[in-house]
Amino acid sequence: QMTQSPSSLSASVGDRVTITCRSSHNINTNLNWYQQKPGKAPKLLIFAASSLQSGVPSRFSGDGFGTDFTLAISSLQPEDFATYYCQQSFNTPVTFGPGTRLEIK
Amino acid sequence: QVQLQESGPGVVKPSETLSLTCSVSDGSISGYYWSWIRQPPGKGLEWIGFIHYSGTTDYNPSLKGRVTISLDTSSNRFSLKLRGLTAADTAVYYCARRQSQYQLLSYYYVMDVWGQGTSVTVSS
């Protein structure tokens, strides 16, 4: 089971934000992060806990190992306001966190 | 760049079977896993299952044996059948490519290409 905190977050353009994801069991670094905008499919941002997917801006970064993980956005841009999901790829069934909605303050 | 496109009925009656197809273009279905994921209105993402191009499948146990995913390599498509529909199956259904990416001496599975999603409503 995956949990995320906070469930929602208000921030301003230029802010640095951090989202936390926790797994109920050890998943090493088998953790991915996705961004989803309203009416769109999820987009892969980070895989293997900390590796940036090709084409994703470097202001996104991931960290963590085992059960605790973070996604950070160093300087929020207007296009970053979206919902973020973590997902474990350690085993099946594949599971997603409940999501963190990032809103403009 | 490979593209995925879901197709199927927008409305299905309770107790009936949902059939969806995902067409793969600008790339081959061979060599990869192909997934289905759904998202009920206003809620999070739920993995349904995947199929390997060899035909091996894996499904979410939460769907209690109602799911079948199949592959048609000759037409570069894969399909989802979900039986015994209820209102709880109302969702946007996405297809996605699952592939392994190599990093730091290990392989990691990601869903890196997604279709745009198709909305399915279960209603009489």
Please indicate whether, in this complex, the C-beta atoms of B103 and A47 are within 8 angstroms of each other.
yes
pLDDT for B105 = 85
Please indicate whether, in this complex, the C-beta atoms of A42 and B114 are within 8 angstroms of each other.
yes
Tokens of residue B17, six digits = 């079977």
Please indicate whether, in this complex, the C-beta atoms of A41 and B101 are within 8 angstroms of each other.
no
Please indicate whether, in this complex, the C-beta atoms of B111 and A44 are within 8 angstroms of each other.
yes
C-alpha to C-alpha distance for B12 and B121, rounded to whole angstroms? 6
pLDDT in tens, B9-29: 999 999 999 999 999 999 999
Q: Which of B:19-78 have CB within 8 Å of A?
A: 35, 44-47, 58, 60-62
pLDDT for A74 = 94
Q: Which long-range contacts (CB under 8 A, 24 or more apart) does A6-12 make?
A: A6/A100, A7/A98, A7/A99, A7/A100, A7/A101, A8/A100, A8/A101, A8/A102, A8/A103, A9/A100, A9/A101, A9/A102, A9/A103, A10/A103, A10/A104, A10/A105, A11/A76, A11/A102, A11/A103, A11/A104, A11/A105, A12/A76, A12/A104, A12/A105
Distances, alpha carbon B110 to alpha carbons A34, A53, A72, B33, B118, in Å: 10, 10, 19, 10, 21
Of A80, A27, A78, the closest CA to residue A56 belongs to A80
State the residue for tokens 């009925």. B9
pLDDT in tens, A13-55: 999 999 999 999 999 999 999 999 999 999 999 999 999 999 9
Q: Which residues of A touch B96 (CB under 8 A)?
A: 41
- The beta strand positions in chain A, using DSSP E, are 2-5, 8-11, 17-23, 31-36, 43-47, 51-52, 60-65, 68-73, 83-88, 95-96, 100-104
Q: What is the pLDDT along chain B (124 residues), one digit of tens a residue?
A: 999 999 999 999 999 999 999 999 999 999 999 999 999 999 999 999 999 999 999 999 999 889 999 999 999 999 999 999 999 999 999 999 999 988 878 889 999 999 999 999 999 9
pLDDT in tens, A47-103: 999 999 999 999 999 999 999 999 999 999 999 999 999 999 999 999 999 999 999
C-alpha to C-alpha distance for A55 and B32, rounded to whole angstroms? 21
pLDDT for B114 = 98
Of B122, B117, B124, B113, the closest CA to residue B28 belongs to B113
pLDDT for B101 = 87
C-alpha to C-alpha distance for A84 and A97, rounded to whole angstroms? 9
Tokens of residue B117, six digits = 């999603």
Q: Which residues of A touch B117 (CB under 8 A)?
A: 41
Best of B1, B94, B111 to disrupt the A interface (most A CBs within 10 Å) is: B111
